[in-house]
Amino acid sequence: MIFPFLKGVLNFPQARVTWMLVILNTAVMLLTYGVASQSQAALEKLLRDDYFRDSQGHLYAQFIDGHSSGYSLVMKNISDKALNGDAEKIALLGTMAIRDDQFVREAPFSKFYGDQVAIENWHDTLVKVREIQSMHPSYVLGLSASDVSIEKWVSYIFVHSGFVHFFGNMLFLVIFGCALESIIGGFAFLMVFLCSGVLAAGAFILMTGTTAAPLVGASGAVSGIMALFACLYWKQGVRFIYWLFLPFRGYAGFVWLPAWVVLLMWLASDLAGYLGTLSEFGGVAYAAHLGGEATGVLVGIIIFLLRYKRKKVEPRAKESPPLGKLFPFDTIHDKKRISLFSHTDSV
């Protein structure tokens, strides 16, 4: 019922670096799509085979039992149940095992008890899985425990796990990137983008640890862009569209919230995601988002400290609502709007 509603995006000449980054991401997405979807399909076929999954689950349970000091209470509990024959837990461990870098590295050389035919089959299938992973763009370009070389810290930003992931990141990159680039310039924008991405990866490794599953996506870098934007516009109003589910005049329209409120909301959301998720299960890399946001905030503070005076910000400060007071709501029919980009009405 409430969503940011920034007015349009800048065209190419005014936000070259942003659009170059979008084009580069799109090019990588299109070039790798074919290989990625084929590899992913082949991987899923192997990993979803019940026989392989259950065998892997058994082995992973034995592995956790033998290396219990390195695993959380939850994992040890699941492995105990699996070792007692709980089919559900065996299947669960079977799906999780492939994310555990230590298991994937050491298990092929370890001795396990039980069904030796299934173990042999697991070995053979794991070799096939590794072969496919070596061709999968996410593993080739993404950052994982098996390869933390310096180029991976940058290349991971440009590869995405699917169209939804890609589209979501590009949407926010365009919206906030165009706005930010017009303030700080193309080169600075590029540096902020890349540094945010690198430090987001660092935060992810620090807070979650490396896994066999690769870290991919531009969300860490984009989070940095968004955070820096929010810092630079901290007093400015960010326009939101809202609707209060009441079919009467006056209960829908636009509202301006100070950017620092928006930044707090993002931080809170990512922090909640990080604190509320079990890292063993993967999914959204909230730690990378937090790392990117922290980078953006840090750069923002540095800019303020260096008394960054490019007053693309200043003219807007006079037109925006004063700090600490929320504006009355506009209805959809209200013509008097305070635009965030009033010097370029075409935005």
Contact 242, 252 (CB under 8 A): yes
Nearer to another protein, 166 or 204 (CB): 204
Closest separation between CB of residue 3 and another protein, Å?
A: 12
Nearer to another protein, 41 or 265 (CB): 265
Contact 217, 157 (CB under 8 A): yes
SS3 264: helix
Nearer to another protein, 307 or 333 (CB): 333
Report the C-alpha gap between 155 and 235 in whole angstroms.
35
Nearer to another protein, 44 or 124 (CB): 124
Residues in the site for another protein, rule: CB under 8 A? Answer: 1-2, 51, 54, 58, 73-74, 77-78, 81-85, 87, 90, 92, 113-117, 120-121, 244-246, 248, 251, 265, 268-269, 271-278, 326, 329
What's the Cα-to-Cα distance from 171 to each of 47, 222, 226, 342, rounded to whole Å? 32, 10, 12, 22
Closest separation between CB of residue 276 and another protein, Å?
A: 3
Closest separation between CB of residue 245 and another protein, Å?
A: 7
- On the CB side of 107, how many CA atoms lie within 13 Å of its CA? 27
Q: Residue 294 carries which side chain, given as an amino acid letter?
A: A
Closest separation between CB of residue 51 and another protein, Å?
A: 7
Environment class of 46 (CB within 10 Å of its CB; exposed 0-12, middle 13-18, buried 19+): middle
Angle, vertex CA 226, rays to CA 221 and CA 227, nearest 5: 95
Closest separation between CB of residue 116 and another protein, Å?
A: 6
Report the C-alpha gap between 140 and 196 in whole angstroms.
21
- In sequence order, what DSSP letters do the residues of 217-236 get, joined into one string? -SHHHHHHHHHHHHHHTTTS
Report the C-alpha gap between 131 and 169 in whole angstroms.
29
Closest separation between CB of residue 117 and another protein, Å?
A: 5
Nearer to another protein, 30 or 265 (CB): 265
Nearer to another protein, 31 or 87 (CB): 87
Nearer to another protein, 144 or 320 (CB): 320
Helix axes 219-232, 286-305, angle to 10 degrees: 30
